[in-house]
A and B are shown apart, each in its own frame.
Chain A
């Protein structure tokens, strides 16, 4: 009786396949963001799956730039934190990346 739904990947010819971010989990996080987040359209998590890819790519590129500044080839948490600190639109992440201060980090305050 069940037709493939938006999340079963059967409808979209594999485009939303196993390599994409999981929609059910995105929806879970959306619902957790506030008491009054009750109704979410079926397409909203799909939009977020793409938006999160863009976000991950941007944050990764900026963090890697920090890694290069340290003249090393391994990206660490400090590089991600530094990228957050120097990017205005990532201000909402400042509390997140600085809540466990690492004494050996070379971050500027």
Chain B
């Protein structure tokens, strides 16, 4: 039966993580790697189902990191909570350090009308722009890694 690779974590990444905790001389058969691949996907589903139920019980619609961590704790993975909390905080601190685009914060200069057209200022809140963009990318499915030329100062509200 053909395995759909999209349902599993990549074997190379999996193997690299395994190697961190194995002695150098250890060998790992392919069937062991594949089994662990399946277990990881099952782990994600298992925790997500519980996290989603927590969400619904509290009349919320979006599964948050808190839901995920609380679900893990409830399902016996309490020893993951501390390293995960440290990880989340570090990640958020990095996000906060990312400098906002200057164009987002400065009020746009008042431009003379050209052919009767006066551009309006961008209708985004600069401080939240990053978060909005992340969410936008997330829900629009445009979050492919790196290859879409992100990083240039491409937003020009006057064009």
- Report A24-51 CB contacts with B as 1/0, cut-off 8 Å: 1111111011101111111110111011
- B window 1-45: CB within 8 A of A: 6-10, 13-14, 16-18, 20-22, 25-29, 31-32, 34-36, 38-45
A5 near B61: Cβ-Cβ < 8 Å: no
Extra 11 A-B pairs, beta carbons < 8 Å, given A40-B62, A43-B64, A60-B36: A11-B95, A20-B13, A21-B10, A22-B9, A28-B6, A28-B7, A37-B48, A41-B65, A44-B65, A53-B17, A60-B18
How far, in Å, is A82 (CB) from chain B's closest CB? 11
Is the interface on chain B under 10, 10 to 19, 20 to 34, or 35 or more residues?
A: 35 or more
- Report A65-101 CB contacts with B as 1/0, cut-off 8 Å: 0010000011111011100100011101100110000
How far, in Å, is A2 (CB) from chain B's closest CB? 5
**How many residues of chain A get a CB closer than 8 Å to chain B's CBs?**
72
Q: Does B98 contact A (CB under 8 A)?
A: yes
A4 near B47: Cβ-Cβ < 8 Å: no
B138 proximity list for chain A (CB < 8 A): 5-7, 27, 42
Interface residues, chain A, with chain B CB atoms under 8 Å away: 1-13, 15-16, 19-30, 32-34, 36-44, 46-48, 50-57, 59-61, 63-64, 67, 73-77, 79-81, 84, 88-90, 92-93, 96-97
Give the contacting residue for B63; candidates A30, A61, A75; CB below 8 A. Answer: A30
Q: Does B112 contact A (CB under 8 A)?
A: no
Could you pull out 15 A-B pairs where Cβ atoms are within 8 angstroms? A3-B130, A3-B155, A7-B145, A8-B137, A8-B143, A8-B144, A11-B130, A21-B10, A34-B52, A51-B68, A56-B18, A57-B20, A63-B32, A73-B27, A80-B32
In the bound complex, CA of A21 to CA of B13 (Å): 7
- Report B64-80 CB contacts with A as 1/0, cut-off 8 Å: 11011100100111001
Nearest CB in chain A to that of B14: its residue: A56
How far, in Å, is B82 (CB) from chain A's closest CB? 10
A25 near B64: Cβ-Cβ < 8 Å: no
B28 near A24: Cβ-Cβ < 8 Å: no
How far, in Å, is A37 (CB) from chain B's closest CB? 5
Give the contacting residue for B65; candidates A19, A34, A43; CB below 8 A. Answer: A43
